[in-house]
Structure 1
Amino acid sequence: MSTEPKLARVIRLDESDVNVFDPVAEPGEWAVSGAFAFSDWSEADLVGKARQAFANGWLGLSSFGRATFVAVAPVTQEELEAATRALAQHFVERWGAPSLEAAWPVAEGEIADMRAMCEDHDTNTLLVVERELVEAGVRERIRVIVPEAADLVAFAVHGDRGD
């Protein structure tokens, strides 16, 4: 197993995400759990596409849309910084953080959590998130799907890292 840093990239195995998420994350985006978006939800919020986003959606860090699958992928320091910057900016624009500086440590924490989730898995390992509301808030479970014989590149839609 490699010691290079890893993060999760959105992949699309078919077009179903386009039908169940609004907005939908695009293949190749870096992703985090995004469970923070559901911290104050109740059963009344779990309807339609919002229910699907809650139950099974990873948060893409370019579109801030949701995706069903992410794949573990190597990440550069520059990409980590860009992902952190995008998420911190999202916290300012969408969640009312007072400044980029105030949002930065929270974004770093979200990225660190996702990196920790990915670090023990080989590249191209698929991750699926499953969430449910519980008395204490949101319970999140991660399902791991290890690629067997074929490299996911053979059939998944990935973005281009540019290298």
Structure 2
Amino acid sequence: MTETPTRLPRAIRLDQSDLHVFERPCEIGEWAIPGSFAYADVEPARLEGKAQIVFKSAWLGLTSFGHTTLVEVAEIGEADFFAAVERLARHIEEAYRAPSFGDALAAARRELEDAAGLCEHKLGTLLAVEREPGDEGFVERFRVIEPARAGDHAKIWSIVTDDTADGE
């Protein structure tokens, strides 16, 4: 039985700016989520410097728990998806003091399912997050940057067998 891949955001770097603006940039190719839970108890107006940049525009990488500005829509297999859920659950349990691993696992699963829900676009589509202070904490928006012609390229040649080449 073959597994059906899920789509999930994956960190991408178009230039070197993430290496300079984030305290801990994530690696290219890491699975990523918006990571909004990290701001549940934060007053955005009090953030400064790199912390403010992370709040305003960063995704959370699921290996290093560093940050990236852009992600691309990519396919992830079932085993890798569940490994990412478990890794995030351990992070939530340790860094955010979840009451239990079961609670952290449920929260992590919701985070990855929500992130997968953002990926209903062509593979390779870029996504950016924008956050700003709002009346009830913060407002979050996602920008979609579709590749101009990804997957739509015209076929310019094909390989055919030459039936006339029988030794002549």
Per-residue deviation, 1:101: 1.8
Distance 2:44 2:9 in 1: 29
Q: Which residue of 2 aligns with 1:83?
A: 84
Going from structure 1 to structure 2, the CA distance change for 1:43 and 1:103 (only over 3 Å counts) comes to closer
Distance 1:142 1:52 in 2: 16
Query: Once the two structures are superposed, what CA deviation does each residue of 1:24-68 show, in whole Å capped at 9, x if it has no partner?
Result: 111010000001111222245320000000000000000101100
Q: Is residue 2:13 matched to residue 1:12?
A: yes
Going from structure 1 to structure 2, the CA distance change for 1:91 and 1:43 (only over 3 Å counts) comes to closer
Q: Which residue of 2 aligns with 1:66?
A: 67
1:1-163 → structure 2 map (5 Å cutoff): 4-118=5-119, 120-149=120-149
Percent identity reads 45
Larger radius of gyration: 2
The structure where helix makes up a greater share of residues is 1
Where 1:71 maps in the other structure, the secondary structure is strand
The structure showing larger relative contact order (alpha-carbon pairs under 8 Å, at least 6 residues apart) is 1
Where 1:115 maps in the other structure, the secondary structure is helix
Q: Specify every segment of 5 or more residues in structure 1 that has no aligned partner in the other structure, as ranges.
A: 152-163
The RMSD of aligned alpha carbons is 1.5
Deviates more, 1:3-12 or 1:20-29: 3-12
Q: How many residues align?
A: 148
Structure 1 residue ranges (4+ consecutive) displaced by more than 2 angstroms after TM superposition: none
Q: Which residue of 2 aligns with 1:158?
A: none
Contact 2:8 2:76 in 1 (8 A): yes
